[in-house]
């Protein structure tokens, strides 16, 4: 990446100094930035606003011409912001602030310095069962919070949207001013148990750009309706939650072997494979992986959403609870 060639965004620049680019998507750039006043590091997601393709006068002429959207419409970004604002969980990226300039929206977020889980899979080829369990359980805690406490479906769970904090030690909240007296006192920070030397730290789910609220967490009813809810709406709620469970199956599969369950060069063939739920535990890569892990994955990669595991069934599975004999190394 071309460092030192960071753009300047009016208004944002007054408060934050961009340090480096951390990621980019179709509509967004994410930067590591520093709060000029406090010195705190944050992540800033900069999203370009929707641009009209032509001048106002030409609008009607081009109204029917389909073009690649050039930005994000206000309604969409506000939905992402509104959902994120309402979330507070250790395994979910925290949104601090939202602002905008003429051309951009700015989401000021908690910085997750380890980057994407995706890069760690590439770096390590694949994860051990213990490390995979540690990672996917953290994802599951985020998903349980979303599904059961907030009525939110993420809809875009994938290794690129799973970030991690590569730490085993969190210093105490308020850094102590050393007075000399407490010089040799231990910092009363919190140790996060790692997973041996390969420990990855805390996982954080990011990117609520596609997420949706399926029920009102205040009234515990499907969104926007009370008492008049049609069965297909109630069903739709269940179905939409189950998309996250499918995605978790894909993530877990990928963690354990290093490649995704569904892949093909051709989009048509790939789509067909997914629709049929056509995947295998490919030998020799899966030979050494426990049957219990495979059993769990098969309950997630189930085509019928009614039969697919819910988040509670997932968390109750022996492989996750670590109580399954098969997951223990042979004596
Ligand atoms: P998009 O909707 O464009 O996919 P994301 O919110 O997923 O936007 O952000 C794009 C990328 O930016 C992520 O995949 C990740 O690499 C990086 N990123 C996003 N949020 C953070 C964050 N809080 N801390 C560190 N990196 C982040
Ligand atoms: Mg993303």
- Return averaged pLDDT per consecutive 10 residues of the chain, 331 residues in all: 75 96 86 97 94 49 52 85 96 97 95 90 88 95 96 96 76 53 54 49 94 82 76 82 97 97 97 97 97 98 96 97 62 44
Cis peptide before 60 (omega within 30 of 0): no
For the entire predicted model, the pTM comes to 0.84
The catalytic position among 156, 216, 236, 324 is: 156
pLDDT value of residue 30 = 96
3-state secondary structure of 99: strand
Ligand 1 pocket residue status of 209, Cβ below 6 Å: yes
ipTM of the complex: 0.99
Look at residue 229 in the predicted model and tell me its pLDDT: 82
| Residue 190 pLDDT | 53
86-89: long-range pairs with CB below 8 Å, 24+: 86/150, 86/217, 87/145, 87/146, 87/150, 87/152, 87/208, 89/141, 89/142, 89/145
- The CA 277 to ligand 2 mean position distance, Å, reads 24
Residue 178 has a CB neighbour count (10 Å cut-off) of 9
Distance of alpha carbon 296 from alpha carbon 245, whole angstroms: 11
Using CA atoms, how far apart are residues 57 and 167, in angstroms rounded to an integer? 55
- Residue-level pLDDT at 297: 98
| pLDDT value, residue 236 | 81
Burial bucket for residue 151 (CB in 10 Å: 0-12, 13-18, 19+): buried
pLDDT at 195: 39
Taking alpha carbons only, the member of 143, 135, 141 closest to residue 159 is 135
Q: Is the CB of 117 under 6 A from ligand 1?
A: no
Q: What pLDDT, on a 0 to 100 scale, did the predictor assign at position 138?
A: 95
Q: Which long-range contacts (CB under 8 A, 24 or more apart) does 189-196 make?
A: 192/167, 192/168, 193/168, 194/168, 195/128, 195/130, 195/131, 195/134, 196/130
Helix 231-257 vs helix 129-144: angle between axes, to the nearest 10 degrees? 160
Indicate which residue's Cα is closest to atom 4 of ligand 1. Answer: 25
What is the pLDDT, as a whole number, of residue 197?
42
Maximum C-alpha span of the chain:
77
Q: Is 156 a catalytic residue?
A: yes
């Amino acid at each position: 990446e071309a460092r030192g060639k960071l753009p300047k965004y009016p208004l944002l620049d007054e408060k934050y100094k961009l340090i480096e680019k951390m990621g980019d998507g179709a509509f967004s750039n994410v930067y590591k930035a520093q709060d000029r006043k406090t010195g705190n590091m944050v992540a800033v997601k900069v999203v370009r606003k929707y641009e009209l393709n032509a001048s106002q006068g030409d609008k009607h002429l081009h109204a029917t011409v389909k073009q690649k959207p050039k930005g994000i419409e206000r309604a969409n970004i506000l939905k992402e912001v509104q959902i994120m604002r309402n979330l507070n969980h250790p395994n979910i990226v925290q949104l601090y602030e939202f602002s905008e300039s003429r051309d951009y929206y700015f989401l000021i977020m908690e910085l997750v310095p380890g980057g994407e889980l995706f890069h760690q899979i590439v770096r390590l080829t694949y994860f051990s069962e213990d490390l995979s369990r540690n990672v996917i359980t953290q994802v599951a805690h985020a998903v349980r919070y979303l599904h059961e406490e907030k009525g939110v479906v993420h809809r875009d769970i994938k290794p690129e949207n799973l970030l991690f904090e590569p730490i085993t030690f969190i210093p105490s909240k308020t850094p102590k001013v050393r007075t000399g007296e407490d010089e040799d006192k231990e910092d009363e920070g919190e140790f996060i148990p790692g997973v041996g030397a390969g420990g990855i730290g805390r996982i954080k789910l990011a990117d609520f750009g596609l997420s949706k609220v399926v029920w009102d967490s205040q009234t515990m009813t499907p969104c926007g309706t009370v008492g008049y809810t049609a069965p297909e709406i109630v069903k739709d709620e269940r179905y939409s939650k189950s998309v996250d469970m499918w995605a978790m199956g894909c993530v877990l599969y990928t963690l354990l072997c290093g490649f995704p369950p569904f892949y093909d060069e051709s989009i048509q063939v790939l789509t067909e494979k997914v629709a049929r739920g056509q995947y295998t535990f490919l030998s020799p890569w899966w030979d050494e992986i426990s049957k219990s892990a495979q059993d769990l994955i098969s309950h997630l990669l189930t085509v019928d959403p009614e039969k697919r595991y819910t988040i509670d069934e997932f968390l109750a599975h022996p492989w996750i609870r670590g109580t399954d004999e098969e997951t223990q190394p042979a004596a």
